[in-house]
Structure 1
Amino acid sequence: MPAEARLVLRWPALLLGLLALLWSAAPAVARDLHVSRSAAGAYRSVQAAIDALPDRGGVIRIAPGIWREKLTIARDGVTLIGTGRDPQATVLVYGDSAKSAGGTFNSATVTASGDDLRIANLTIRNDWWLQPGNPPSQAVALSVTGDRAVITRVRLLGHQDTLFANKGKGGRMARQFFSDCYIEGHVDFIFGNAKAWFRNCHIHGLAHSDVWYTAQSRASADEDSGYVFDRCRLTADPDARNVSLGRPWRDHARVVFLNTRMDAPVMPEGWREWYPGTSNRLPTTDYAEYRSSGRGAAPAARAAPSRQLTREEAAQWSLRTFFQGDVRWISEGLEQVR
């Protein structure tokens, strides 16, 4: 065989070998990063670590301490884990508001729009209301709009509009799972239009003239969205007034409480109109409860058209049914941050 022909036959093998050599020489992009103010080789800010992740995401382990940063997570597959003994040890905090940032949706301490987000064992706080001289304003701690988000053992601290659990860009539905979290605030402090499940979470109302735990914003009857609170606990400061389970940000708001202990002075009617005496959204809402207990439970006095579910009806709001059988992403997410 002529030499030229042998070279042609060998060319694919030579090309593959050259590519393998280039790939082995290229620096690998780490998918498990650390944030610490003192550890060698660690990133000194959380955002720097987020920006250093490859496009497919990765895990960021954050050392205990107070990290005052305004964070943006736009890529998929990002995991944030506090490495302290408990969520109080690692605090992500910033102090922006609708007034200072040019709108509620720009005010979040952490804005996460990527899919497959995982957050565990840390605190996210917006301390706008705690700074002397700041006027009252919406001030989001966590804005999460990506699909398949798993958030566990996280403290979300704010006042008005603490947690924005919403759809993604273009109205794409976002499924979100919160477990063993502590969420506090007063006005509309869990709000948005995601398909979100809260399991074994402690929801606390701060002292204020009006407290609304939720402001869900399902806008039409055919939207597959809503908030479900399963085996959660509701509490409130002694000076919290006019405490209600929620009010409809949009006409078809959907919120369901299952086996929730209401250790807060929830008003007997439970739910309130968006603008009492002006708006008329309650008639088209989907508000329901099953086996609420505690001082705030008053099934016979709840405002219409909210309803008390039977055992059979409550079964239709199980975790698996709510997510239409697709719950593997939840178990995988919890396992990842264990």
Structure 2
Amino acid sequence: MRRRTFLELSAGAAAAAAAWPAPAGASTRKRPDLIVEPGAAIQAAVDAAPPGAISPYVIGIRPGTYLGQVIVPAEKTHLEFRGLGRAPGDVVIADDRANGTLKPDGTPWGTSGSASVTLGGADFRARDLTFANVFDEAAHPEIANRQAVAVLTRADRLVFDRVRFLGNQDTLYVNSTAAGVIARAYFRDCYVEGDVDFIFGRATAVFDQCRIHSLDRGGTPNGYVTAPSTDVTNPHGLLFSRCRFTSDAAPASVYLGRPWHPGNDPAAAGRTIVRESWIGAHIGATAWSDFGTWPWRDARFAEYRNYGPGAARGDDRPQLTRSGAAANEITDFLGDWRPRRGG
């Protein structure tokens, strides 16, 4: 079978070349349908993918840094981005806009519009690469709204395997198409870093054996890991299972999360569970914070059998019971979808 290799992508055009050999160790995977070369545009590769696919369409991405906003529309289903380097850091997809960055028409992009990558197509997969928002806060003191999203998810059944997400405020926005709509995402062996609310939104998102790293802003508080806005009708929001929460920030200067109520929506009853995870000393005895007038105790926050210098029990650290933990496993969050078995 021949696969197209993108040598130059401009004005929606692409040059075809001979098939590219599959990377080492990939013999059991579907070979890439298309290869993106350094200097090309990821968006052009997305545009070239067939709409309405019912089986994976694999875009292989050669090592390099690819700058420019990428949008995967709803009709581009079963798309896969596969990094072809030796490590996730070899392939970087990035952009550099923030909420307050101005569009050509003089209006701000907003938080959603700041996303380097927006994923609207169901059954998307990414592996062995990095998504980043490289907006430089220090270089833009004139911009007050500095939320800068690396990835915004809107679709159901998304898988990220050995993927890095880099940013500062609002790095990873896990969302759905509307309040009350369930959208699931599964993160396996991933790395997510940021400072303020850097994993947030109303999606059902499972983080399985991931590293969650809080950057040191040098302030107090130093940051918040999560800001869930889970709809009250959804029992499953953000789940962290067997993860590592790390930071170079001062002890007890970071919170595990706070409840986000977009537009002051009272139905946004945030849900975050951290279970069987190692927690660093940057998390204090009070692990959760209020968000404006919204108290954290009215949200659905809980822990279970965590350990490490930042793990604790007490009135300010709600814990799942054994039966509660049994009802909040990874399979409970993902429902009838089994991404770890190829689903």
Determine if the alignment matches structure 1 residue 52 to structure 2 residue 66: no
Using structure 1 for the length normalisation, give the TM-score: 0.81
In 1, the alpha carbon distance for the partners of 2:86 and 2:338 equals: 28
Letter in 2 for 1:61: G
SS of alignment partner, residue 100 of structure 2? helix
What residue is the counterpart of 2:225 in the other structure?
Answer: 213
What residue is the counterpart of 2:100 in the other structure?
Answer: 99
Larger mean CA deviation between 226-235 and 260-269 belongs to 260-269
Q: Percent identity?
A: 37
User: Equivalent residues in 2 for 1:113-152 (5 A)?
Assistant: 113-129=120-136, 132-133=139-140, 135=143, 137-152=146-161
Gapped regions of structure 1 (runs ≥ 5): 1-29, 39-43, 334-338
- After superposition, give the CA deviation of every residue in 1:166-220 in whole Å (9 maximum; x if it has no partner): 1124652101101100000000000000011110010000012231000000242
Gapped regions of structure 2 (runs ≥ 5): 1-30, 102-107, 262-267
In 1, the alpha carbon distance for the partners of 2:252 and 2:61 equals: 37
What residue is the counterpart of 2:117 in the other structure?
Answer: 110
Determine if the alignment matches structure 1 residue 226 to structure 2 residue 237: yes
In 2, the alpha carbon distance for the partners of 1:290 and 1:191 equals: 21
* Count of residues in correspondence between the two structures: 291
- After superposition, give the CA deviation of every residue in 1:82-125 in whole Å (9 maximum; x if it has no partner): 00000000001110110015200000000001100101100011
In 1, the alpha carbon distance for the partners of 2:70 and 2:303 equals: 36
Letter in 1 for 2:192: I
After superposition, the Cα gap between the structure-2 partners of 1:116 and 1:274, relative to the gap in structure 1 and judged at 3 Å, is same
SS of alignment partner, residue 314 of structure 2? helix
Which structure's CA Rg is the greater one?
1
Shift of 1:152: 1.0
Determine if the alignment matches structure 1 residue 183 to structure 2 residue 192: yes
Larger mean CA deviation between 86-95 and 122-131 belongs to 122-131
Indicate conservation of the 8 Å contact 1:193/1:225, yes or no: no
In 2, the alpha carbon distance for the partners of 1:211 and 1:118 equals: 29
Shift of 1:50: 0.6
Quote the RMSD (CA, aligned, Å): 2.0
> Which of these residues, 311, 322, 327, is aligned with residue 297 of structure 1?
311
Letter in 2 for 1:56: G
Q: Give the structure with the higher percent helix.
A: 1
After superposition, the Cα gap between the structure-2 partners of 1:189 and 1:37, relative to the gap in structure 1 and judged at 3 Å, is closer
What residue is the counterpart of 1:41 in the other structure?
Answer: none
User: Equivalent residues in 2 for 1:30-45 (5 A)?
Assistant: 32-37=33-38, 44-45=40-41
In 1, the alpha carbon distance for the partners of 2:100 and 2:294 equals: 28
User: Equivalent residues in 2 for 1:155-170 (5 A)?
Assistant: 155-169=164-178
- After superposition, give the CA deviation of every residue in 1:33-65 in whole Å (9 maximum; x if it has no partner): 110138xxxxx2211111001113411000000
In 1, the alpha carbon distance for the partners of 2:341 and 2:295 equals: 36
What residue is the counterpart of 2:7 in the other structure?
Answer: none
